[in-house]
Chain A
Amino acid sequence: MPVLSCYIPAFPLALLKRANPRLVQRPLALVGNDERVLVASRPALNAGVMPGQTARQARIACPELLLQEVDLMQARNEFEALLSLLDLYSDAVEPAGLGNVYLAAPDLKVEEAVAYCQDLGRHIRREFGKALQPAIGCDRSKFTARAAARHTHTGTVRVVLGEAEVPFLRPLPVRLLPLPKEDLRLLGFLGIYTLGQYAALSPRAVFQQFGSRGRLAQEWARGHDRRPVIPRDKRPNLSGGLAFDPPVETLPGLLAAAEDVLLQLLTRLQERFQAAQLLQARLSFVFGSDYQDVWHLAAPTSALPRLLALLSERWQEQPWPAPVSALSLTLGEIQEAADEQLTLFPGAGTPVELLGEWVSQVRRRYGEGRLLQARVLHPTRLQVEQRVSWQEFTI
């Protein structure tokens, strides 16, 4: 059964531009709750603004930058409306991050599939306006459909069905695969730059070098992606927890326990190239009371530091009535991680990463605390010591 990938790049930004068309030519960036840039327009990217930068860094890089806080509520509502529209076309509609959706299409020939996709695209344009018109890719597998959607312009359709699949995938960059940075760097060193080159490697050698994840990615590169389209109401959750005896009284102890639990859950996600968009944390206190927090993330993630930072920030602010006796964490809205990996794709082997080996050598010779990295956590505090936190330089 064919799969359609319906992709609207920079969805929250497109919404903003639809509301105010004058902003199209301006350098524009949207920041999340953590005051980091989520998406930036093309003029802003050209001026040096990068997703992940703090608002202050972005403003320094581009003084004319128009920074706006992302309206996640509106973006989610619009996205829900888009999903409702797509429900008319298919029983299985799977969201994969804001602005990216998979649909299980009926069994069609190539010509019929083109007409079907065009009809879908026109319908979305009619309902949501030209600023939100999607790029649509179609194939038997999810990965190829997604690659097709990424390699066509918005407002156009790319149907890759049947024999065209392998020739289509062959010249595409290997970076499209959501492999870890180290694996991509290694592939770069080995001179493997395209999906075709990666697909042609011996499966045994790939398994030996990159493990089961590498093997799975190779199957995708060969056009064999057997993942079904999972309707959004049937997406699974992942949970884990710990009971403390004796109860935990300090934040570092609780965070260390949370890190252990999250690490187990995220490893399972990462092995399947998946990410979660919802995090739920539940603390049970010794006198029987409970405290629960839920985070809906702007983009799906499988990054441990990001989730830990959320927990740490909330638990620092929250007064504890008593020592914590149990902790339970749940990851929800699990979806494929490809969206995040593709948009914020790191360059293989950036200069900072190449320093890794040298940094560990220096650390072995001179001990800890010699090579550091700074982070400005509280820029409004008066004393420098309180504004900045120092940590070991990590790659």
Chain B
Amino acid sequence: MARNQNRHRRLERTITHIQHQWGTEAIRKGSRKTRVPPHVPTGFAALDKALGIGGIPRGRITILSGAPTSGKVTLAARVLANVQKRGRPVAYVDVMHTCDADYLERCGVRLQELLVVRPENGRQALELTLALAKRSELAAILFDHWGALGKSRQERRFASGVLDHLVGRLAKTRALFLVLDDPLPLWQRLFPFADRTLAHYATLHLALSREYWLLSGPDVRGYRAQVSILKNKFGPAHKRVPIEIHFNGTVRGDGI
């Protein structure tokens, strides 16, 4: 009995020592209670439910991939708007220089608290993103988009290094990090040696695809998109949620 108590005490001491040196997140005792990580709701109730924790996790990398007009910018803008409700600014890394501020505002983003970063090239974009991730004042960073970065071996290696640092910094600042990306082509899904660095570092990967246009007579009033959860470290993956995006001045849709 006494021996068991001694063991227990030694274990406690070791845990305290590790937590003291490396932080409370470094080691934790197992518990039956599930801890819900800090997150931000997407604004689409059905999607929040499917994600398991009620939204997009903060302090982690989230990928939104899809073809143009699949709803990834809309979804990202809704998340940014929800982040801004807490009164903190957000950043938009506009690698392609195609940021539509008017649409962001219609999605609810407050432009006074939106810092748009327009880098000259991919390398500068990654450097600035890393610098942004250091700032605890920023509540979220949107990277638009990953596919615009260079594809050479050197550039990929640099991006990989940046992601390595980024994970640690985001964990400290608890900023939400969203990356927009192109959909994965079929050949890349089939070959395991293809470059999957970003997907490796991501906690959540949502693939969006447009299903059909919503018509009202001859006019297009929006579209219906399908969100597939490809990877989810905090909840079940491989779920599909349909969402509707309307063009009626504001973006609405709770998921069907």
Q: Which of B114, B124, B250 contacts A366 (CB 8 A)?
A: B124
A253 at interface, CB cutoff 8 A: no
A355 at interface, CB cutoff 8 A: yes
A236 at interface, CB cutoff 8 A: no
Interface stretch, picked from A145-153, A202-210, A265-273, A369-377, is: A369-377
Which residue of the partner chain B has the closest CB to A63?
Answer: B250
Q: How large is the interface on B (under 10, 10 to 19, 20 to 34, 35 or more residues)?
A: 20 to 34
> Which of A53, A60, A63 counts the most chain B CB atoms within 10 A?
A60
Q: Which of B102, B115, B120, B131 contacts A387 (CB 8 A)?
A: B102
B99 CB contacts on chain A under 8 angstroms: 374
CB atoms of B102 and A60 under 8 A apart = no
State the CA gap A366–B130 with chains docked (Å).
14
B106 CB contacts on chain A under 8 angstroms: 56, 60
B116 CB contacts on chain A under 8 angstroms: 371-374, 390, 393
Which residue of the partner chain A has the closest CB to B89?
Answer: A352
A61 CB contacts on chain B under 8 angstroms: 108
Q: Which positions 176-203 of chain A face chain B at CB distance < 8 Å?
A: none
B101 at interface, CB cutoff 8 A: yes
Q: Which positions 15-62 of chain B face chain A at CB distance < 8 Å?
A: none
Known contacts: A56-B105, A350-B87. The answer to whether A369 contacts B111 by CB under 8 A is no
B219 CB, min distance to chain A CBs, angstroms: 16
State the CA gap A371–B117 with chains docked (Å).
5
A256 at interface, CB cutoff 8 A: no
Q: Digit string of A366-395 for contact with B (CB within 8 Å is 1, else 0)?
A: 100111111110010000100110100100
State the CA gap A354–B87 with chains docked (Å).
13
Q: Which positions 220-252 of chain B face chain A at CB distance < 8 Å?
A: 250
A360 CB contacts on chain B under 8 angstroms: none
CB atoms of A374 and B111 under 8 A apart = yes
Known contacts: A351-B88, A393-B115. The answer to whether A374 contacts B101 by CB under 8 A is yes
CB atoms of A60 and B250 under 8 A apart = yes
B128 CB contacts on chain A under 8 angstroms: 362, 366, 370
A346 CB, min distance to chain B CBs, angstroms: 12
Secondary structure at chain A's binding surface: helix, strand, loop or mixed?
mixed
B110 at interface, CB cutoff 8 A: yes
A358 at interface, CB cutoff 8 A: yes
Q: Which of A60, A355, A369, A388 contacts B115 (CB 8 A)?
A: A355
CB atoms of A354 and B108 under 8 A apart = no
Known contacts: A362-B128, A366-B124. The answer to whether A376 contacts B101 by CB under 8 A is yes
CB atoms of A375 and B111 under 8 A apart = yes
A48 at interface, CB cutoff 8 A: yes
A48 CB contacts on chain B under 8 angstroms: 85
B120 CB contacts on chain A under 8 angstroms: 366, 370
B118 at interface, CB cutoff 8 A: yes
A274 CB, min distance to chain B CBs, angstroms: 26
A57 at interface, CB cutoff 8 A: yes
A379 CB contacts on chain B under 8 angstroms: 102
A384 CB contacts on chain B under 8 angstroms: 100, 102-103
Q: Which positions 52-78 of chain A face chain B at CB distance < 8 Å?
A: 53, 56-57, 59-61, 63
B142 CB, min distance to chain A CBs, angstroms: 14
Which residue of the partner chain B has the closest CB to A355?
Answer: B137
Known contacts: A371-B115, A372-B118, A374-B101. The answer to whether A355 contacts B89 by CB under 8 A is yes
State the CA gap A272–B11 with chains docked (Å).
67
B131 CB, min distance to chain A CBs, angstroms: 7
CB atoms of B119 and A376 under 8 A apart = no
B109 CB, min distance to chain A CBs, angstroms: 9
State the CA gap A108–B155 with chains docked (Å).
80
State the CA gap A61–B88 with chains docked (Å).
15
CB atoms of A358 and B135 under 8 A apart = yes
State the CA gap A53–B112 with chains docked (Å).
9
A351 CB contacts on chain B under 8 angstroms: 87-89, 137-139
Which residue of the partner chain A has the closest CB to B139?
Answer: A351
B84 CB, min distance to chain A CBs, angstroms: 10
Known contacts: A373-B116, A387-B102. The answer to whether A354 contacts B250 by CB under 8 A is no
B254 at interface, CB cutoff 8 A: no
B45 CB, min distance to chain A CBs, angstroms: 16
State the CA gap A57–B81 with chains docked (Å).
11
B113 at interface, CB cutoff 8 A: yes
CB atoms of A370 and B89 under 8 A apart = no
State the CA gap A59–B100 with chains docked (Å).
20
A60 CB contacts on chain B under 8 angstroms: 81, 105-106, 108, 250
CB atoms of B119 and A370 under 8 A apart = yes
A388 CB contacts on chain B under 8 angstroms: 100-102
B103 CB contacts on chain A under 8 angstroms: 384
9 A–B pairs (Cβ distance < 8 Å), ordered by A? A53-B110, A366-B124, A370-B128, A372-B117, A374-B104, A376-B101, A390-B116, A393-B115, A393-B116
Residues of B within 8 A of A (CB): 81, 85, 87-89, 99-106, 108, 110-120, 124, 128, 131, 135, 137-139, 250
Instruction: List 20 additional contacts besides A351-B87, A351-B138; criterion CB under 8 Å.
Output: A56-B105, A57-B105, A60-B108, A352-B89, A352-B137, A355-B89, A355-B137, A358-B135, A359-B115, A362-B128, A370-B117, A370-B124, A370-B128, A371-B115, A374-B104, A376-B102, A384-B100, A388-B102, A390-B116, A393-B116
A-B complex: 4 closest residue pairs judged by Cβ atoms = A374-B101, A351-B137, A372-B116, A388-B101
Residues of A within 8 A of B (CB): 48, 53, 56-57, 59-61, 63, 350-352, 354-355, 358-359, 362, 366, 369-376, 379, 384, 387-388, 390, 393
